[in-house]
Chains A and B, each alone.
Chain A
Amino acid sequence: MAGYLLRRLVQSVLILLGVTLVTFFLLYVLPADPVRQIAGRSATAETVESIRRQLGLDQPFWVQYGRYLWNLLHLDLGRSYLQRSNVSELIWARLPPTLLLMAGAIVCELILGLTMGIVAALRRGTATDNGLMIASFVGVSAPQFVVGLLMLYLFGVRLHWLPISGYGTFAHLVLPSLTLGILGAGWYSRMMRSSMVEVMRQDFIRTARAKGLARRRVILRHALPNAILPIIAMIGIDIGIFMGGIVVVESVFGWPGIGQLAWQAIQRVDIPIIMGVTLVSAVAIVLGNLLADLVTPLIDPRIRLR
């Protein structure tokens, strides 16, 4: 187990290194000069060159990349070209809202997805099953931008049940979490349905039924714990999917997380922020996958890590 963990951690570091190299290279070859952006439109050629020297952007690629890695080792993500603040500070300030939103989305997708999946499995072949599976299909395929705006319009503008946008209270959390969670809920309901259908066919369920246990007890005590296993491992992988979703959802709902920061930075080609957010997302995805792999044997002793 310890050997496995060590190997995975080394792998993770290599992956992250690869991510920094690829991102740094792409941003390096991008035909946009950050110095021109900083210097502004009335700058003289001397000003531009002076800024380029001060930022070390006159150095060759490998020197710049090496310096970036060196700073990274010291937990320094650099300074934003346009916001003129430390990138780590900007990301740190936006991390709590993003984590909160992700937690909200996980709760939403679990409650919605599992309920839908279980009900569909138990009513297999009926109109309820078909209806729920169509709903899950819509959930998976509807663009989050559209879902977000529709919910915002319905619950915020028309019904006045929830705030339109912003951050701070539980009410603010509901719509963005739901929007972000609906995609996962669609997946989960489908997985849960097939997993549940599979488990319900197993011998031990038939045995339990034959023993005369109540249907309710069979489902909750025997079927569910077995059917839910593959879903739990999915949550770790979900973090990667969320990282894409938050960019859209946070922008629609004015949620002050790192997705919004990323979107603004991309639009304005603020390279240090793009690098920082990419790195943080990569870390989240790598950790999520690692967690998923570590959790699986704990809940299913048949799986061993080597």
Chain B
Amino acid sequence: MKRLLASTALMVALAAPALAQDQDTYTPDPNATPGGSITITYKDDVATLDPAIGYDWQNWSMIKSLFDGLMDYVPGTTDLRPGLAESYEISEDGLTYTFHLRPGVKFHNGREMTAEDVVYSLSRVTNPATQSPGAGFFGMIEGFDAMMDGSATTLSGVTAVDPQTVQIKLSRPDATFLHVMALNFASVVPREAVEAAGEDFGRQPVGTGAFRLAEWTLGQRLVFEKNPDYWREGVPYLDQITFEVGQEPVVALLRLQNGEIDVPGDGIPPAKFQEVMNDPAQAEHVVQGGQLQTGYITMNVTQPPFDNVDVRRAVNMAINKDRIVQIINGRAIPANQPLPPSMPGYTEGQEGYAYDPEGAKALLAQAGFADGIDTELYVMNTDPNPRIAQAIQQDLAAVGINASIQSLAQANVIEAGGAGTAPMIWSGGMAWIADFPDPANFYYPILGCAGAVEGGWNWSKYCNEELDAMATQADSISDPARSEERLKLWSDVYAKVMEDAVWAPVFNEERYTMKSARMGGDDSLYVDPVSIPVNYDYVYVTE
């Protein structure tokens, strides 16, 4: 099902030139009742609600409910649908996108949103002074390089044709462009509110979204209230959402059991997972779903012994993935390729490297390492990652690879990975979760040459120019009739990555969201691929 939905998303992304129209066929839940309020808890403070800056899974869904972009996703799915753009057209050459804005959309400050706001917002996010972590996504838009080097302050490829029409010119055809327009970074913000708040716009957000910020008491709570002027008919259902921060996940679970809160935002604590799932009364309030995530071991291909492909293959064969999945209470499925199963381009039936310690030993001997290998495995120091690393360590030891574990804070592991000083890294806690549901998002930053630079996220430092060319070729196919061809190309790219055994993919994590008995709405809203933990705009309460 998920696979089907994801392919549909791609079809939309590759919508027919000059004819793309509103694909929004989503029917909200007929049983939904408006009104009421819910409480969500988090351990950490909310960082910022500035859509150009916020880039963690906690504020991502909050920002989604405060702001809108030209494109959006059908709730609970990875299907694109128009957002602030009512409709759009794509030129024959795939280089010009014309978006027609919805009339009468108002910002929370009461002003009507126009095409100029879109131009301002996209220029703001690509302006280096904004320090947006998402600026790099907009590289396909004309004028991006001039923004980056500081020679321009307006993104030249984006123009307001009239107050209701925006035209965006690309410097190269890019099949992922509409997904980029659905990222939070592409949200439309009002210039006057940004300028008035200055550096504090992230604390005083003004958007067009279903909710607006009513209160933010630092370190304690944020309160969102319903936007009565929201442009989508009938939503949101909830009048108010309270986010309480500073709540330990274990305590949050106790409060949920006590009926004090509705959703523990950090999920079910690993130590309590079995207890919850073995208790039918609690398990019935848990919703399970897939994630666009893969947990993997990177091997630095620029240094011995991992510059030898046989050693990397041996590592792949040495890992007992089923056992590692057991360590995390079965909250994942074993992986055999970089892409997660719900991602378009995933190769069904690919076997990957089967668990075969004897075969691994033979390969190592053949590669000249019969006497064993000493190496290091870097891992983030929060549970369950050190336990997973120990399992990996044992599996490797069984074939003669002695990996000493370097358990460090997240920032230190990322640093070592970027600098290329870590021979092996277990990606847990920092693993790649897709920014948008397209195979391209799993390649360029973590497997392509662009990410293999000093400080990049390609921790294997694998740079295969032939594959980069194949990837570029795939993304230049913007004709929907050829989408299968594009996916086939991507599938081949990842098959080659596995042949070179750049990573040892270990598992794809599943998501488990727990909710109070009074929460209503389809299960898919509680495992929404783009809104974690829940899609705030469409859930409701039954009492």
Q: How far is the CA of A48 from the CA of B136 in the complex (A)?
A: 11
Is B19 interfacial (CB 8 A cutoff)? no
Q: Is the CB of B248 within 8 A of A93?
A: no
Q: Point out the residues of chain A lying under 8 angstroms from B218, CB to CB.
A: 85, 89-90, 93-94, 256
Q: Is the CB of A84 within 8 A of B128?
A: no
Nearest residue in B to A47 (C-beta to C-beta)? B135
Q: Is the CB of B254 within 8 A of A156?
A: yes
Q: Is the CB of A50 within 8 A of B47?
A: no
From B43, B131, B454, name the one whose CB has the most chain A CB atoms within 10 angstroms: B131
Q: Point out the residues of chain B lying under 8 angstroms from A30, CB to CB.
A: 412
Q: Is the CB of B148 within 8 A of A44?
A: yes
Q: Is the CB of A254 within 8 A of B244?
A: yes
Q: Point out the residues of chain A lying under 8 angstroms from B133, CB to CB.
A: 38-43
Other-chain residue from B48, B149, B251, B454 in contact with A83 (beta carbon distance below 8 A): B48
Q: How far is the CA of A94 from the CA of B219 in the complex (A)?
A: 7
Main secondary structure of the interface of A (DSSP, over half): helix
Q: Point out the residues of chain B lying under 8 angstroms from A166, CB to CB.
A: 244
**Contact mask for chain A residues 193-227; partner B; CB cutoff 8 A; 1 contact, 0 none:** 00000000000000000000000000000000000
> In A124-182, which residues have CB < 8 Å from any B CB?
149, 152-153, 156-157, 164-167
Q: Is the CB of B453 within 8 A of A40?
A: no
Q: Point out the residues of chain A lying under 8 angstroms from B412, CB to CB.
A: 30-32, 269
Nearest residue in B to A53 (C-beta to C-beta)? B128
Q: Is the CB of A85 within 8 A of B200?
A: yes
**Contact mask for chain A residues 266-302; partner B; CB cutoff 8 A; 1 contact, 0 none:** 0111000000000000000000000000000000000
Q: How far is the CA of A269 from the CA of B418 in the complex (A)?
A: 17
Interface residues on B, range: 35 or more
Q: Point out the residues of chain A lying under 8 angstroms from B128, CB to CB.
A: 46-47, 50-51, 54
**Contact mask for chain B residues 403-421; partner A; CB cutoff 8 A; 1 contact, 0 none:** 0000001111011101000
> In B187-211, which residues have CB < 8 Å from any A CB?
199-200, 202-203
Q: Is the CB of A32 within 8 A of B244?
A: no
Q: Is the CB of A84 within 8 A of B50?
A: yes
Q: Point out the residues of chain A lying under 8 angstroms from B220, CB to CB.
A: 167, 256
Is A191 interfacial (CB 8 A cutoff)? no
Is A264 interfacial (CB 8 A cutoff)? yes
Is B151 interfacial (CB 8 A cutoff)? no
Q: How far is the CB of B428 from chain A (nearest CB, A)?
A: 16
Tell me how many residues of A have a C-beta within 8 Å of chain B: 54
Other-chain residue from B129, B199, B455 in contact with A48 (beta carbon distance below 8 A): B455
Q: Point out the residues of chain B lying under 8 angstroms from A254, CB to CB.
A: 244, 246-248, 251
Q: How far is the CA of A300 from the CA of B202 in the complex (A)?
A: 54
Q: How far is the CA of A50 from the CA of B149 in the complex (A)?
A: 9
Nearest residue in B to A89 (C-beta to C-beta)? B218
Q: Point out the residues of chain B lying under 8 angstroms from A261, CB to CB.
A: 45, 219
Is B258 interfacial (CB 8 A cutoff)? yes
Q: How far is the CB of A214 from chain B (nearest CB, A)?
A: 50
Q: How far is the CA of A260 from the CA of B137 in the complex (A)?
A: 34
Other-chain residue from B47, B411, B454, B455 in contact with A84 (beta carbon distance below 8 A): B47
Q: Point out the residues of chain B lying under 8 angstroms from A89, CB to CB.
A: 218
Q: How far is the CA of A43 from the CA of B136 in the complex (A)?
A: 5
Q: How far is the CA of A208 from the CA of B494 in the complex (A)?
A: 92
**Contact mask for chain A residues 59-87; partner B; CB cutoff 8 A; 1 contact, 0 none:** 00000000000000000000100111100
Is A24 interfacial (CB 8 A cutoff)? no
Q: How far is the CA of A252 from the CA of B202 in the complex (A)?
A: 28
Nearest residue in B to A46 (C-beta to C-beta)? B148
Q: How far is the CA of A267 from the CA of B45 in the complex (A)?
A: 12
Q: Is the CB of A45 within 8 A of B453?
A: yes
Is B462 interfacial (CB 8 A cutoff)? no
Nearest residue in A to B414 (C-beta to C-beta)? A36
Q: Point out the residues of chain A lying under 8 angstroms from B136, CB to CB.
A: 42-44, 47
Task: Give the 4 A-B residue pairs with the shortest CB-CB distance, closest first.
Answer: A40-B133, A32-B411, A93-B218, A256-B219
24 A-B pairs with C-beta separation under 8 A: A36-B411, A36-B455, A37-B414, A38-B131, A40-B134, A41-B457, A43-B136, A50-B148, A50-B150, A51-B128, A84-B48, A85-B203, A89-B218, A152-B254, A153-B254, A165-B255, A252-B248, A253-B251, A256-B220, A256-B246, A267-B410, A268-B411, A269-B410, A269-B412
If A40-B133, A260-B246 are given as contacts, then 15 extra A-B residue pairs at C-beta distance below 8 Å, sorted by A number, are: A33-B418, A33-B455, A36-B411, A38-B131, A41-B445, A84-B50, A85-B48, A164-B251, A254-B246, A256-B219, A257-B219, A260-B219, A264-B44, A264-B45, A269-B412
A-side interface residues toward B, CB under 8 Å? 30-34, 36-48, 50-51, 54, 79, 82-85, 89-90, 93-94, 97, 149, 152-153, 156-157, 164-167, 250-257, 260-261, 264, 267-269
B-side interface residues toward A, CB under 8 Å? 43-45, 47-48, 50, 53, 55, 128-129, 131, 133-137, 139, 148-150, 199-200, 202-203, 217-220, 244-248, 250-251, 254-255, 257-258, 260, 409-412, 414-416, 418, 435, 445, 453-455, 457
